């Protein structure tokens, strides 16, 4: 993705001078779809309308409110975000990471650094997205396993059978009805709750 020169890149920057540094750095690296957004009114709506691949935010000396607004953008848009600031503190850096900012660059606004920072931003975002997807999958599997275990217990008590037999019954029913194990398990749990 980082070497794709057709990436849509949005620069959020109120300073024409600083925005020009980012813009020149990108265009000299071959990127052609570079848009600059000025002002912060309806920022999220404008970003959604553009649907960029990457967002570069430059905040020279931002207030806490401005930083929080940019963190909100990062949380909402689910795109690689690099943020350039002149000064920072540990708490702000932690908040930036928590908000999903892939690159938080302090005092590093130079046009020769823009491309490597862009590539790092995209790589970090993709790595984080993979980890997040794996975590969600693991959570989902755990929840499904809990439901199957609960359904097994219900069957074991109701039919006076052992765990392996209960699991086999759920599995066979799922295969016969062409449904997932968890769907059959949920049906057993729901039926048991209705019959209480």
pLDDT class of 3 with cuts at 50, 70, 90: low
Distance of CA 174 to the CA centre of its chain: 33
CB 128 within 8 A of CB 97: no
| CA gap 124, 80 in Å, rounded | 8
Please tell me the distance from the alpha carbon of residue 118 to that of residue 82, in angstroms, as a whole number.
7
Q: What is the mean pLDDT of residues 123-128?
A: 94
What gap in Å lies between CA 133 and CA 143, rounded to an integer? 15
Q: What angle do CA 114, 117, 44 make, to 5 degrees?
A: 85
**What's the whole-number average pLDDT of the chain?**
91
User: What's the pLDDT score for residue 26?
Assistant: 95
**145 pLDDT exceeds 70?**
yes
- pLDDT above 70 covers a percentage of the chain that reads 98
pLDDT of amino acid 172: 97
CA distances (Å), 170 to each of 143, 151, 175, 192, in order? 16, 8, 9, 14
Q: Residue 38 and residue 4: Cα distance in Å, rounded? A: 25
In this predicted structure, what is the pLDDT of residue 112? 92
- Rounded to whole angstroms, how far apart are CA atoms 18 and 20? 5
- Residues 8-58: tens digit of each pLDDT: 999 998 889 989 999 999 999 999 999 999 888 888 899 999 999 999 998
Q: Which pLDDT belongs to residue 39?
A: 84
| pLDDT score recorded for residue 75 | 86
Helix, strand, coil share of the chain (percent; to 5) = 60, 15, 25
Q: Give 185's pLDDT tier (boundaries 50, 70, 90).
A: very high
- pLDDT at 2 (0 to 100): 52
Q: What average pLDDT does the segment 93-113 reach?
A: 86
């Amino acid at each position: 993705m980082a070497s794709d020169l057709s990436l849509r890149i949005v620069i959020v920057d109120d300073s024409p001078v600083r925005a020009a540094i980012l813009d020149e750095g990108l265009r000299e690296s071959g990127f052609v779809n570079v848009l600059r957004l000025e002002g912060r009114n309806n920022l999220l709506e404008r970003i959604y309308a553009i649907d960029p691949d990457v967002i570069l935010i430059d905040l020279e000396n931002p207030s806490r409110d401005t930083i929080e607004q940019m963190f909100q953008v990062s949380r909402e848009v689910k795109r690689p975000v690099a943020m350039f600031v002149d000064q920072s503190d540990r708490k702000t850096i932690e908040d930036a990471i928590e908000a999903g900012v892939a690159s938080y660059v302090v005092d590093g606004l130079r046009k020769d650094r823009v491309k490597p920072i862009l590539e790092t931003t995209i790589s970090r975002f993709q790595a984080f997205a993979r980890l997040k997807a794996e975590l969600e999958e693991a959570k989902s599997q755990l929840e499904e396993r809990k439901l199957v275990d609960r359904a097994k217990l219900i069957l074991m008590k109701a039919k006076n059978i052992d765990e392996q037999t209960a699991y086999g019954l759920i599995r066979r029913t799922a295969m016969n009805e062409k449904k997932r194990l968890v769907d059959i398990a949920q049906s057993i749990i729901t039926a048991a709750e209705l019959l209480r």
